[in-house]
Amino acid sequence: MRAKVEVMLKDGVLDPQGEAVCHALGSLGFDGVSKVRQGKIIELDLADGTTKDDVRAMCEKLLANTVIETYRIEIG
């Protein structure tokens, strides 16, 4: 089975990487980009029978820094 985890910075946490992308898009002539936020996507190939709770534990322990990041899990 496969799980997909999206990790994004929480609102209010400064995202210099996203700001850099935003400015770069402006410099390339793409107007109308008002804000960019960048995050991580982690695709996991898991043994059958792994539960969403297991993946949640992985997020809490390793994949996300829950002080500044939120995560979202998609199974299947």
Site residues, its own copies (CB under 8 A)? 6, 8, 18, 21, 24-25, 28, 30-47, 49-50, 54, 57-58, 61-63
Token pair 């936020």 in the structure block, residue: 37
Both tokens of residue 27?
A: 């410099």
Q: Which CB atom, from 43 or from 67, has the smaller least distance to its own copies? A: 43
Q: Which CB atom, from 42 or from 73, has the smaller least distance to its own copies? A: 42
Least Å distance, CB 21 to its own copies, is: 7
> Phi/psi of residue 52, each to 5°?
-60, -30
| 37 in Cβ contact with 9 (< 8 Å) | yes
